[in-house]
Amino acid sequence: MSGLTRNFYLNRDFRNGGANRRSGTVNGYRAEWAQGLTLDYLSPFTPGVLGLGFDAHLYAGLKLDSGRGKTGTNLLHVNNDGDVANEYSVGGGALKLKYRETVLKYGSMELRTSPVFLTDGGSGRLLPQTVTAWQLISRDLQPLTFDAAHITAGKAPSENRNDSTLRSLYGATETDTVDYLSLNYEQGAVKGYLSTQRAEDLWRQDYLGFRYLPALVEGLTPTLNVSMYRTVDIGAAHGGPIDNSTWSFAPGVKFGAHSLMLAYQKVQGDTPFDYMAFRDGQTTVAQLANNVQLSDFNAPNDRSWQVRYDYDFSARGVPGLRFMIRYMQGQGGKGSDIEPDSSYYPLGFRDGGRHWERNIEMQYVVQDGPAKNLSLRARYGVHRGNSAEPRGDMDEIRLITEFPFKLL
Decide: 164 and 129 in contact? Cβ < 8 Å: no
Residue 8 Cα distances to 143, 338, 370, angstroms: 38, 38, 22
Collect all residues with Cβ–Cβ distance below 8 Å to 21 and sequence separation of at least 6: none
Write the DSSP assignment of 334-366 as a string of letters.
--TTS-TTSTTGGG---TTEEEEEEEEEEEEE-
pLDDT of residue 27: 60
Cα gap 132→135, rounded to integer Å:
10
Sign of dihedral through CA atoms 65, 293, 69, 127? negative
The alpha carbon of residue 65 and the mean position of all alpha carbons in its chain are separated, in whole angstroms, by 25
d(CA 190, CA 195) in angstroms, rounded, equals 17
How many CB atoms neighbour CB 304 within 10 A?
28
- Greatest Cα pair distance, the chain, in angstroms, is 65
> Structural domains in the chain?
2-406 (2.40.160.10)
pLDDT of residue 18: 55
Q: At a CB cut-off of 8 Å and minimum separation 6, what does 374 contact?
A: 365, 366, 401, 402, 403
Residue 241, C-beta contacts closer than 8 angstroms, at least 6 positions apart: 233, 271, 339, 341, 342
Write down the pLDDT at residue 141.
95
Which of 284, 278, 285, 283 has its CA nearest to residue 90?
Answer: 278
| φ/ψ (deg, to 5) at 23 | -85, -10
294: region left, alpha or beta (phi > 0 left; psi from -120 to 50 alpha): alpha
DSSP-derived secondary structure for 54-120: EEEEEEEEEEEE--TTT--SSSS-B-TTSPBPSEEEEEEEEEEEEETTEEEEEEEE---SBTTB---
Dihedral of CA atoms 196, 174, 129, 75 in degrees, nearest 10, equals 140
- Whether the Cβ atoms of residue 336 and residue 346 lie closer than 8 Å to each other: no
Q: What number of other Cβ atoms are within 10 A of residue 197's Cβ? A: 26
Full pLDDT tens readout for the chain, 408 residues = 999 999 999 999 988 655 555 545 556 888 999 999 999 999 999 999 999 999 999 999 999 998 777 888 889 998 888 788 999 999 999 999 999 999 999 999 999 989 899 998 878 899 999 999 999 999 999 999 999 999 999 999 999 988 889 999 999 999 999 999 999 999 999 999 999 999 999 999 999 999 998 877 777 899 999 999 999 999 999 999 999 999 999 999 999 999 999 999 999 999 999 999 998 778 888 999 999 999 999 999 999 999 999 999 999 999 999 999 999 999 999 989 999 999 999 998 999 999 999 999 999 999 999 999 999 999 999 999 998 888 889 999 999 999 999 987
Contacts of 263 (CB under 8 A, 6+ apart): 248, 249, 250, 289, 290, 305, 306, 307, 308
Pair 244, 266: CB distance under 8 Å: no
Task: Look at residue 123 in the predicted model and tell me its pLDDT.
Answer: 82
pLDDT for residue 23: 46
CA nearest neighbour of 333 among 325, 323, 344: 344
What proportions of the chain, in percent to the nearest 5, are helix, strand and coil? 0, 55, 40
pTM reported for the whole predicted model: 0.93
Looking at the DSSP bridge assignments, the partners of residue 50 are 99
Beta-carbon-side half-sphere exposure of residue 232 (alpha carbons within 13 Å):
5
